[in-house]
Amino acid sequence: MDHIVTVQDVVTAFADFMEPTTAELDAIELESPLILAEVDLLDAHIVTLDRTPNELDARRIRRARNRVLVERRTLANRTFGVTGGAA
């Protein structure tokens, strides 16, 4: 006779290892301004999918793109330890 056993213990046995480490959480926190800027840029592009972009849409996309570039530069400077100047 075959016994049916649950796999609950096997599935949850590694649950502690599935959580992000402190270093991973710090990296996410460091990159979050860039992620949010990229989401804003994506939102600006999504708004224009069903219509021709007008002047306000173009301005919103341009500002969002500039914010992404600023956040990328800030992240690159912070990552490589540069304290001033452009990357």
Task: Please report, for the chain, the start and end positions of each structural domain, with discontinuous segments joined by +.
Answer: 21-79
The one-letter amino acid at 84: G
> In the prediction, which pLDDT does 20 show?
84
pLDDT tens for 50-77 read 999 999 999 999 999 999 999 999 999 9
Neighbours of 60 (CB within 10 A): 19
Q: Helix H segments across 7-54?
A: 8-12, 22-47
Please enumerate in sequence order all residues whose Cβ is within 8 A of that of 45, keeping only pairs 6 or more positions apart, or say none: 61
77 near 71, Cβ under 8 Å?
no
The one-letter amino acid at 5: V
pLDDT tens for 5-22 read 665 555 555 566 678 889
pLDDT tens for 21-57 read 898 999 899 999 999 999 999 999 999 999 999 999 9
- pTM value is 0.68
CA 58 and chain centroid, separation: 23
